[in-house]
Amino acid sequence: MPTQPTSYDLVISGGRVIDPANSIDATFDVAVSGGKIVAVEANIDTGSTKRVVDASGLVVTPGLIDLHTHSAGGIRKPSGDEFMVPPDAAGVSAGVTTILDAGSTGALNVGGLVNFLAPNATTRMMALINIGKMGVANLPEVKTSDDIDHASSVEVIQSAPNVIKGVKARMVTPGITALGLDMPKAAKAITDEAGGLVMIHVGDIAGQDPLAVELTPPLLTDILTKGDVITHTLSGAVGALLANGSLISQAEEARSNGVYFDVGVGGGNFTFAAAQAVIDSGFIPDTISSDIAGMSRFAGPVFSLTECMGKMMTLSISFEDAVRMVTSKPAEILGMSDEIGSLSVGAGADISILDLVEGNFLYHEASGATKAGSQAIKPVMAVRAGVPQPLDFGPRLWGWLPTQNS
């Protein structure tokens, strides 16, 4: 008797599969059952499959991971929620399956994120608590040492390790003026006791204090250790990674010590000029993240993680490398490579389907400067735990693509 076709919950057929973790770049089908990836191969028999998604002409990748978001929208705070976006707006509704909120909440007000937002989001949501005990509800979040609560921070991380992955601190005024390197040292003291990583924002966008220039080199070489993350690698602000237009040598030393470097585009934490200078020095960031927030999603210059990928592609980053920088590499940083960031058989079925669009596009930075690009990435579908999720319309009147360069 002929063998009966295998029954799958979902097959994504005929797409260009790019899976950097497994060195795959080929036309394959991806089969899913029980929320897991069960096959990645050519010409899968779909006769008994519950749902088939035709991905011909599209790109199929591991679910995109945004390592820097402000996605705690829905938790009320004194100044309102306008700074943050809801988790699924940054996540599955934008083609992204995993997000890390980077310090929107602190040890004293993270409960809503842990107990309400994360468990109710379709997107896989995790977070770093802010070194400031009230997070961005109390901007500037660190003014004096009284704004840091070591014991409560340790307790929060230890009580919710599946959600809280460490501590975020911003090297900006007035915190650096008051505390200097004692602020990142306080963050390290918390994770040394509780576990997790430290993410440090470099570049004093708040005050452009020259002190920031003095603090960054020892921060990189003397405080941060293997597994920690620098975000805003391509910032042009005072105290970022450029000094007099050149990459500071301590960045390479920190990388050799196992420190990771994240883009974190954000509203004012990225310039094309600084990005080009860093990349031209041969220093390529490890990950692309959006630093998306409420205003930067609709008014720009962030708009979406896929647009941030396209922005990096104007700087000689290949599409294939951009995929790696939002899949396998952030999964490695989170210590979750066995769960996310790949299309390995047996891994959770978090998948993104993308359209790599050729055209004449214009990408923006916060200052108003622009850079033309010949490609853009349009999200088509996110599959989260094996279930296809609908996208929203996109942040612009015409949807997801950047401005046309006329």
Per-residue pLDDT of the chain (406 residues; tens, 9 = 90+): 333 457 899 999 999 999 999 999 999 999 999 999 999 999 999 988 999 999 999 999 999 999 999 999 877 554 444 578 999 999 999 999 999 999 999 999 999 999 999 999 999 999 999 999 999 878 899 999 999 999 999 999 999 999 999 999 999 999 999 999 999 999 999 999 999 999 999 999 988 899 999 999 999 999 999 999 999 999 999 999 999 999 999 999 999 999 999 999 998 899 999 999 999 999 999 999 999 998 888 888 999 999 999 999 999 999 999 999 999 999 999 999 999 999 999 999 999 999 999 999 999 999 999 999 999 999 999 999 999 999 999 999 999 999 998 7
Structure tokens at 332: 């490695």
CA distance 233 to 229: 10
How many residues are present in the chain? Answer: 406
Distance of CA 309 to the CA centre of its chain: 11
In a domain, 2, yes or no: no
Task: Kindly report the pTM of this predicted structure.
Answer: 0.97
256 in the same domain as 193: yes
DSSP per-residue string spanning 68-95: EE---TTS--TT-STT---HHHHTGGGT
In a domain, 26, yes or no: yes
Give yes or no for a contact between 162 and 131, defined as CB atoms under 8 angstroms apart: no
Q: How many domains does the chain have?
A: 2
Closest CA to 257 of 227, 232, 287, 294: 227
Domain span holding position 246: 63-333
Distance of CA 389 to the CA centre of its chain: 19
Give yes or no for a contact between 284 and 310, defined as CB atoms under 8 angstroms apart: no
- How far lies 262's CA from each of 23, 220, 290, 325, in Å? 22, 14, 10, 9
- How far lies 174's CA from each of 136, 141, 387, in Å? 14, 9, 45
220 in the same domain as 202: yes
Q: Given phi > 0 = left and psi -120 to 50 = alpha, else beta, which region is 35? A: left
183 in the same domain as 79: yes
Q: Return the residue matching tokens 């999720």.
A: 389
In a domain, 151, yes or no: yes
The backbone torsions φ and ψ at residue 174, rounded to the nearest 5 degrees and listed phi first, read -85, 0
The CATH number assigned to the domain holding 167 equals: 3.20.20.140
183 in the same domain as 132: yes
The CATH number assigned to the domain holding 399 equals: 2.30.40.10
Distance of CA 363 to the CA centre of its chain: 19
Sign of torsion over alpha carbons 71, 75, 81, 83: negative
Give yes or no for a contact between 23 and 63, defined as CB atoms under 8 angstroms apart: no
